[in-house]
Every structure is written in structure tokens, then in C-alpha cells.
Structure 1
Amino acid sequence: MYLTSEKKAEIFKKHGETAKNTGSAEGQVALFTFRINHLTEHLKRNRKDFNTEKALVSLVGKRKKILNYLKDKDIARYRAIISELGIRK
């Protein structure tokens, strides 16, 4: 599998506060971004995989909701995660 528990812990440790804090908004956005990038590469090779396309659209929507929440709560954290991950919104 492309996303092991060690990889998840690494993502949350880098972008969240700790590896165990899986509820932080920054960690969730980073995880969703990793998964979105992976699915995007998959869809470049498999253009007719419509189930994956639906999952990708769902993930983008979830990430957008979390980013909107973060923007309303703390604009500095929002700007930091956007620039760190290279997300254009």
C-alpha cells in the first residue's frame, strides 16, 4: 500500500504538533494533499477510472472545508500551511 502507518506518522509529525495528534487541521490537510497527489498521478495513467475520480473530488472537498475552517479560525496558520504545502487556493 502506498500509505503506511509510518508514513502517516511522519506526515503528522512534520505538519502537526506530534505524530499522535491526528486531529490537527494542518496534519489533516497535509494527509489529504498527499492522497490527492497520489490519486492525481493514478488518474493520469488511468483516465477511465471514474470511481477514483469521484474519490478525488471528495477528498478535494474535504480539504477545502478544513482549509476554510482554518482560515476563519487562524489566518496565520492557514497561510503557513498553504505556503508549506504549495497549495494554491
Structure 2
Amino acid sequence: MYLDQKEKEKIFKKHGKSATDTGSAEGQIALFTHRIAHLTEHLKTNRKDYNTERSLVMLVGKRRSLLDYLTKKDVLRYRAIVKELGLRK
């Protein structure tokens, strides 16, 4: 599988408060970004996989919602995670 427990812990440790802090918005955004990148690569080779395309659109929406939440809650945290993940130009 492309995303095992060790990979998740590494993502949460890098972007969250700790490796076990799976509820922080930054950690979830980082995890969604990793999954979005993987699904995008999959869709480049399997362009007629409509179930994966739908999953990708839903993930992008979830990430957008979390980013909107962070914008309203704490703009500095939003700017930090966007810069760290390279989501904006």
C-alpha cells in the first residue's frame, strides 16, 4: 500500500505537533496533500478511472474546507502550512 502507518506518522510528526497528533488541521492538510498527489499520479496513467477522480475531487474539497477553517481561526498557521507544502505560488 502506498500509505502505511510509518508514512502517516512521518507526515504527522513533520507537520503536526507530534507523531500521534492526528487531529490537528495542519497534519490533516498534509495527509490530504500526500493522498491528492498520489491520486493525481494514478489518474495520469488511468484517465478513465472515474471513481478515483471522484475521490480526488472530494479530497480537494476536504482540504479546501480545512484551509478555510485555518484562515478564519489563525492566519499565521494558514500561511505557514501553505508555504511549507507549497500549495500557492
**TM-score, normalisation: structure 2:** 0.98
The equivalent residue for 1:32 is 32
The equivalent residue for 1:61 is 61
Q: Deviations over 1:1-37 (max 9, x none)?
A: 0000000000000000000000000000000000000
Runs of 4+ in 1 over 4 A off after TM superposition: none
**TM-score, normalisation: structure 1:** 0.98
Between Structure 1 and Structure 2, how many residues are aligned? 89
Unaligned runs of 5+ in 2: none
Tell me the distance in 1 between the aligned counterparts of 2:86 and 2:52.
23
Unaligned runs of 5+ in 1: none
Q: Aligned-pair RMSD on alpha carbons? A: 0.9
The equivalent residue for 1:44 is 44
The equivalent residue for 1:74 is 74
- Letter of the structure 1 residue corresponding to residue 66 of structure 2: I
